[in-house]
Structure 1
Amino acid sequence: MARTDRLMRLMEALRRLKPPVTAARLAEETGVSERQLYRDIATLRAGGALIDGASGLGYTLTEDPALPPQSFSRLEIEALVLALGALDQMGDPALAKAGRNAVARIAATLPDRQARQAMHPVLHAWYPPGERPPVTVDLGLLRQACWDETSLVIRYRDLQERVSERPVWPLSLSYSERSLMLLAFCRLRQDFRVFHVSRIEHAEPGGESFRPRRVSMLRDYRALRQARYMAEVRRRSDPAP
């Protein structure tokens, strides 16, 4: 692991774990030996991080100079924490972990009173488990293709149980408690399609770039949806012949 990545993981662990955190726990979290952990703590301290504690006592991050001071209202803190907490039910494990790390990072930049508000139990909302079908495809691959604006080749089983292989331009992922959908431009059908991710049986990189068309295609899709919606409204409001 690169030194910069290792130090970043150590800082994230110090923000996220309840202090004081033992060297053994930090070493486990960052995947290094305790001997290396002590050297990394010394490196962070030399760089300006205020880390209290010592070997045998545990460590507490009291100030992180890499993050600017933040100030939020209590309502803004509640909105951030509850929204990120929803990822435990609506997101995949990688997104859920990223959400928890983000909460810890935000809390590390707040004044003491606001930091306590961010971690207060009243904000730990419980969401009832959804009925979303299991996903077997690599969601990291789908997200990366969306960001990189590169094509995918997917094997898809539709709602009529028909299987087809389709080259697609992935545009965005839509999360909810009951479904996870992929909006894409299907190169086979030459049209926008919304795929149930649980029905994607296989996905691999297609090697085709569609940059920088993603933003304009999303705009086109929204305009198309709006036009279809308005046409349906007019159809329902027109008197029957």
Structure 2
Amino acid sequence: MRRADRLFQIVQYLRGGRLLTARILAERLEVSERTIYRDIADLIGSGVPIDGEAGIGYLMRAGYDLPPLMFSRDEIAALVTGARMVRSFGGADMALAAEEALTKIAAVLPDALRDSPATVSIHAHDAGALTGADRTMIDRLDRATAAHRKLNLRYRDADGQASERTVRPLSLWFWGKVWTLVAWCELRDDFRMFRIDRIAGAEEAGPFRPEPDKSLKAFLKSEACRREA
């Protein structure tokens, strides 16, 4: 983690109003307590209203707001481009969230960069690749993935063969033209990828508890081993 990112995270943790020790902050940020003491001193020196002392803990006085976001022009271009791609190729809720995020970012940019989002010349157009049903399905799968909810899928493969199966959704992947769902398939007792445009239905089937051998990390490891074989 970059030092600037770490300082930002410390401020975010302390804004919660709770007294936090250097040890707690060090564990969360995976650095030494000595590093936290140095970072706290630098933040106080730059005017951040942090109260406390070593061995007791730190908290931030109420009413402190972060200064305006300082994105570079290249960073703004990347954010705007990403939001436009989500708007064109993501779920309906995702597209709306991307627009709202851009509005919030533009509202807090310094005056010198306020017009930068409008000058980004990169655009994305789906040319009808996604239907309304596809966008709704993307949002549904995304919510189930985040909430660890099993899904009963009605699916058709490339040959048109229909099947029904219960899966644990793990991740959504966009391949430039199609979206796929990475999931643990209870029917096959293995990982599977499902094209979203071939999913005819997806109903929730109760919660599942994440397990290491059925996780996205395990899937990625298995894919790496397969490619190396």
The TM-score normalised by the length of structure 1 is 0.62
Which position in structure 1 is the counterpart of 2:116?
Answer: 117
Cα 1:212–1:67 change in 2 (3 A) is: farther
The separation in 2 between residues aligned to 1:169 and 1:79, in whole angstroms, is: 32
Q: Indicate conservation of the 8 Å contact 2:90/2:138, yes or no.
A: no
The separation in 2 between residues aligned to 1:230 and 1:182, in whole angstroms, is: 23
- Percent of aligned pairs with the same amino acid: 34
Cα distance per residue 1:44-88 (max 9 Å; x no partner): xxxxxxxxxxxxxxxxxxxxx987521111111111111111112
Which position in structure 1 is the counterpart of 2:217?
Answer: 219
Cα 1:133–1:77 change in 2 (3 A) is: closer
Cα 1:216–1:195 change in 2 (3 A) is: closer
Describe the SS at the equivalent of 1:154.
strand
Cα 1:188–1:215 change in 2 (3 A) is: closer
- The CA deviation at 1:216 is 6.6
Q: Indicate conservation of the 8 Å contact 1:181/1:194, yes or no.
A: yes
Q: How does 1:5-154 map to 2 (within 5 A)?
A: 69-120=68-119, 123-129=120-126, 132=129, 134=131, 135-136=133-134, 138-154=137-153
What count of residue pairs does the alignment treat as equivalent?
164
Cα 1:158–1:68 change in 2 (3 A) is: farther
2:126 aligned partner, one-letter code = P
2:223 aligned partner, one-letter code = R
Gaps of 5+ in 1: 1-64, 232-241
The answer as to 2:161 corresponding to 1:162 is yes
Describe the SS at the equivalent of 2:114.
helix
Describe the SS at the equivalent of 2:218.
helix
The TM-score normalised by the length of structure 2 is 0.65
What is the root-mean-square deviation in Å for CA atoms of aligned residues? 2.3
The separation in 1 between residues aligned to 2:66 and 2:173, in whole angstroms, is: 30
Which position in structure 1 is the counterpart of 2:47?
Answer: none
Cα distance per residue 1:170-200 (max 9 Å; x no partner): 0011124310111110000001000011111
Cα 1:87–1:228 change in 2 (3 A) is: same
2:114 aligned partner, one-letter code = A
Q: Indicate conservation of the 8 Å contact 2:89/2:130, yes or no.
A: no
Cα distance per residue 1:73-112 (max 9 Å; x no partner): 1111111111111112221222112111111111111111
Cα distance per residue 1:104-131 (max 9 Å; x no partner): 11111111111111232xx142235357
Cα 1:178–1:214 change in 2 (3 A) is: farther
Q: Indicate conservation of the 8 Å contact 1:132/1:180, yes or no.
A: no
Describe the SS at the equivalent of 1:138.
helix
Gaps of 5+ in 2: 1-63
Which position in structure 1 is the counterpart of 2:44?
Answer: none
1:184 aligned partner, one-letter code = A
1:102 aligned partner, one-letter code = A
The separation in 1 between residues aligned to 2:72 and 2:153, in whole angstroms, is: 45
Which position in structure 1 is the counterpart of 2:208?
Answer: 210
Cα 1:98–1:110 change in 2 (3 A) is: same
Describe the SS at the equivalent of 1:72.
coil
